[in-house]
Structure 1
Amino acid sequence: MSDMSSLEIAHMVKDITGYRVFPSNQQKQPCVKDPYGKATNDLEGITELFRNFPKAMTAIPTGPINGITVVDLDVKGGVNGIEAFSNLIKNVPHTMVVRTPSGGAHVYFRTGSENIPSSVGKLGPGIDVRGAGANAIAFGSISATGEYRWDHSVSGFTWRPAPMPPDLKRLIYEAASAGRSPSKSGYNQSSIRYRLSDPIITGQRNNELASRIGYLLKMYPPQRVHDLAHHMNATLTTDPLSVKEVDRIFYSILKRELQK
């Protein structure tokens, strides 16, 4: 696979999985604006998306957009997510596994239209959940440290993730809800990261979107947060705000953060 171009890898991933994809840089950040809105499984669309990014990796959006959730198991810095996961969940079904360059693994599960919440380290050391609004780097992608490889010894050569085990799903939801605590506005500021992929109901749209934008701006570049804000509005709100209103909220919060 290492002799294939980035575009050829993206086409291969689409052909094998049928998933929507978008280009990602070496820092695992999207190469395009509104990546989740532009992600596609159309060959011509993929060609257009990847045309200007010859060194891009292929990112697979997780969550309902592709009907999957990926459990990302890190093995580095003295942390062994694979071991922690095996101790957490017994009798994991045979499913799709992609080995990462650092020795970790991406374990794919079918979750359909369910908005499985994403989390970082909540299930255990080195265990991240990539659910709604997240993504995983696809097999065949080449990073600065190596290649992401489909582990055929686990699943054979048929790409069909197993349904997520009920016990794992329960643990994910319990970990997400554990970070929530009521306040005057419904949640504490510290709980925002645990509800980033939760639905946003009418009546809370402006305040909730502003809270999430403020939280994300502490971790990511403004352009990425801008894209995420529009993605959350389009996919998580029961009655999406206008593009103009989302931009107004974003730039208001960005101005506030820059003045701190």
Structure 2
Amino acid sequence: MAPTDRQTPTLALAHALAAAGRGLPVFPLSATKLPALRSPHRGERTATHCRGECGLPGHGVHDATTDPAAVRALFAAAPRAAGYGIACGRAPHRLIGIDLDVDPAYGSDAAGSLRQLALQHLFTIPPTVTVLTPSGGRHLWLTGPADATVPNSAGRLAPGIDIRGYGGYLVGPGSVTAHGRYRLAPGTAHLAPAPCPRALLRLLTQPPRPPTATRSTGPAPDRRGEGLIQFVLAAHEGQRNTRLFWAACRAYEHGFGNALADALTAAAVRTGLPEHEARATIASAARLTTGRNGETNDAA
């Protein structure tokens, strides 16, 4: 556990002011990584959806500001703040946070999963600001365009990869939490957040896959995999194999890969992929996901 002392709030404010000076909206956090200011609406009998319109502090990420005087006022109202949050999705940077976890429960580190996604979807993460977390993970800072809103998500891209988009926040470097200090990775302090690669941005903004149900009570397999089929149909030349492989992996992971194999093959053929190549790709996905669910993979 990271020690905190009387200097911690002072240092947190200094780090927050530095971030605000770079155009990053900030607000105070407690050592639990939660907003340090209590809601002004606590105790009210009727639920309120105020996001700061009342003019009082205590609305979490909606308090975030780049104005130095306002930042100082927020921290003065939160004298025990141990860190600061950075609001994502807000101008001018429209920050996108890629949170890579290292929980062994996932079977592999999230950084490896991101590298695999990059290979499948033909993108490269550029050098960018990287923050090391107390748990051994890391936050990658990217910027988004003005015409795209990236939603928050947890594990949607792959297990262990969480996305902080509009309405979310990242713990800023220099913050002290109950588990340790967040710090900039060596060699990245001088960098500016890099633009999000277009292929990755498409993954982050595409509609979520439709929820799947158990095989005993769920809808027909073709309905469950409709989103995956559309994903394959949208492939352009150079993406067909990687999109098909990704979709087949998702289908097998959710327990209906065998039932969807023919439909995925037909979709891939419609994009111009030879049938034998499509079936070989699906068979590879089946082998890769064997043992991750209870389905017997016999597509090969």
Asked if Structure 1 and Structure 2 have the same fold, meaning a TM-score greater than 0.5 normalized by the shorter chain, the answer is yes
Matches of 2:210 and 2:163 in 1, distance apart? 15
Classify the secondary structure of the residue corresponding to 1:27: coil
**2:144 aligns to what?**
111
1:123 to 149, 153, 157: 157
Q: What residue is the counterpart of 2:173 in the other structure? A: 139
Matching of residues 6-85 of structure 1 within 5 Å = 6-15=12-21, 17-32=22-37, 33-51=58-76, 52-65=78-91, 66-79=93-106, 80-85=109-114
User: Mind listing any 5+ residue stretches in structure 1 that lack a counterpart?
Assistant: 182-260
Number of residue pairs aligned between Structure 1 and Structure 2: 176
Q: CA deviation at 1:139?
A: 0.6
CA-atom RMSD in angstroms: 2.2
Q: Deviations over 1:127-161 (max 9, x none)?
A: 001111100000111111111111132x3513x11
Q: Distance in 2 between matches of 1:60 and 1:119?
A: 17
Q: Is the 8 A contact 2:101 2:138 kept in 1?
A: yes
Residue 180 of structure 1: CA displacement? 7.0
Q: How does 1:234-253 map to 2 (within 5 A)?
A: none
Maintained 8 Å contact 2:61/2:169: no
Unaligned 5+ runs, structure 2: 38-57, 213-300
Give the Cα–Cα distance (whole angstroms) in 1 for the partners of residues 196 and 13 of structure 2: 30
Please tell me the residue identity of whatever aligns with 1:29: L
TM-score by length of 2: 0.54
Partner in structure 2 of residue 238 of structure 1? none
Report the CA distance between 1:38 and its aligned residue. Answer: 2.2
Contact 1:64/1:112, CA 8 A, preserved across alignment: no
* Overall identity of the aligned pairs, in %: 31
Partner of 2:197: 165
- Paired AA for residue 50 in structure 1: F
Quote the Cα distance in structure 1 between the aligned partners of 2:61 and 2:144. Answer: 18
- Choose from 186, 210, 213 the match for 1:179: 210
The answer to whether the 8 A contact 2:33-2:177 is kept is: no
User: Aligned partners of 2:145, 2:34: CA distance in 1, in Å?
Assistant: 25
> Quick check: 2:32–2:178 contact (8 Å CA) kept in 1?
no
Report deviation, 1:83. 1.5
TM-score normalised over the length of structure 1 = 0.62
8 Å Cα contact 2:88-2:165 kept in structure 1: yes
Spell out, residue by residue over 1:23-47, the C-alpha distance to the aligned partner (whole angstroms, 9 max, x if none).
1222222223223332111111111
Structure of higher CA gyration radius: 2
Cα distance change on mapping 1:41 and 1:96 into 2, 3 Å: same
Aligned partners of 2:85 and 2:169 also within 8 Å: yes
CA distance in 2, matches of 1:43, 1:117: 28
Q: 2: distance between equivalents of 1:63 and 1:44? A: 22
SS for the counterpart of 1:10 is helix
